[in-house]
Amino acid sequence: MPVLRIALLGCGAIGSAALELLRDDAALSVAAIVVPVDAFEAARAVAERFAPGAQIVSSVPVQGIDLVIEAAGHAAIEAHVLPALQRGMPCIVASVGALSAQGLAEQLEAAAKAGNTQVQLIAGAIGAIDALAAARVGGLDSVRYTGRKPPHAWKGTPAEQGCDLAGLKGETVIFEGSARKAASLYPKNANVAATVSLAGLGLDRTHVRLIADPAVTDNVHTVEAEGAFGSFELTMRNKPLAANPKTSALTVYSAVRALRNRVAALSI
């Protein structure tokens, strides 16, 4: 199989950790790193260590790229992923939470159709997305997602209103409602809820609970689903990335897995 030439969107916590893991991959070559001009210097420093052959650019090159992977956020999806898809370039998206915004999922689908290509959403920080999406085929009755984090992790969110986060003695539910409402009130925590929704019952029928819990140190995600297939409960206790405590290390591994699966003779 020929080497797959990749354009990486974003070179922050996920992008740099993924570059480090991909450094010695003979079948995958990061040919371009796409970041805003003010992030060129930082991206260049990372590229020097992990991807010396990559060019640092502010848009996806029109030639010489086989696949785009996004780890940069909502603005980058609009600026780079949509046009790349329209040009027929397959794309992998990590910022799945951005798809809670009205119309963006439909725009991505339309762009991929127009380019006769595909956009893949990675499972990221959550597991059992394969089981959930398969269970949907037979029919799902209920899907519930619970996100549990230490109180300080909810600083700067609406959880601060009417709740003394620092003084919490026991677990406290700070939000309960639809995944759509959770994404609009807690956009920085939207990735997992959006991924579970898109794989299962959608943003309006996926029930979300967000909990501040002084007894935990990690980010704990629980998914419970019931349907014609039976039922499952999954709990993940994710370790944060050293470079960005808001991002789970598993998200990086999920992105790297998605890339390696594109070139693997046997993919799982």
Any idea which residues carry the catalytic annotation? Answer: 221
Q: How far apart are CA 6 and CA 192, in angstroms?
A: 25
Q: Rg for the chain (alpha carbons), in Å?
A: 19
Based on the shown chain and the rule CB under 6 A, indicate whether residue 245 belongs to the binding site for ligand NAD. no
Based on the shown chain and the rule CB under 6 A, indicate whether residue 14 belongs to the binding site for ligand NAD. yes
Q: Which residue has the tokens 């991807």?
A: 51
| Residues contacting ligand NAD: total by CB under 6 A | 30
Q: Which residue has the tokens 């039922």?
A: 231
Per-residue x/- track, 88-127, ligand NAD (CB under 6 A): ------xxxx--------------------------xx--
Contact set for ligand NAD, span 27-56 (CB under 6 A) = 34-36, 39
The DSSP code for 63 is: S
Tell me the helices (H) and strands (E) count for the chain, helix number first.
9, 13
Q: How far apart are CA 137 and CA 199, in angstroms?
A: 10
Choose the binding region for ligand NAD from 8-16, 144-152, 163-171, 230-238 (rule: CB under 6 A). 8-16
Minimum distance between the CB of residue 215 and ligand NAD, rounded to whole angstroms?
A: 23
Per-residue x/- track, 191-230, ligand NAD (CB under 6 A): xx--x-----------------------------------
Contact set for ligand NAD, span 124-153 (CB under 6 A) = 124-125
Q: Where are the beta strands (DSSP E) in 189-252?
A: 206-212, 219-227, 230-238, 240-241, 244-248
Minimum distance between the CB of residue 59 and ligand NAD, rounded to whole angstroms?
A: 9
244-248 vs 172-178, strand pairing mode: unpaired
User: Six-digit token pair at 177?
Assistant: 């409602």
Query: Which residues of the shown chain bind ligand NAD in the complex (CB under 6 A)?
Result: 9-15, 34-36, 39, 71-73, 75-76, 79-80, 94-97, 124-125, 191-192, 195, 244, 247, 251
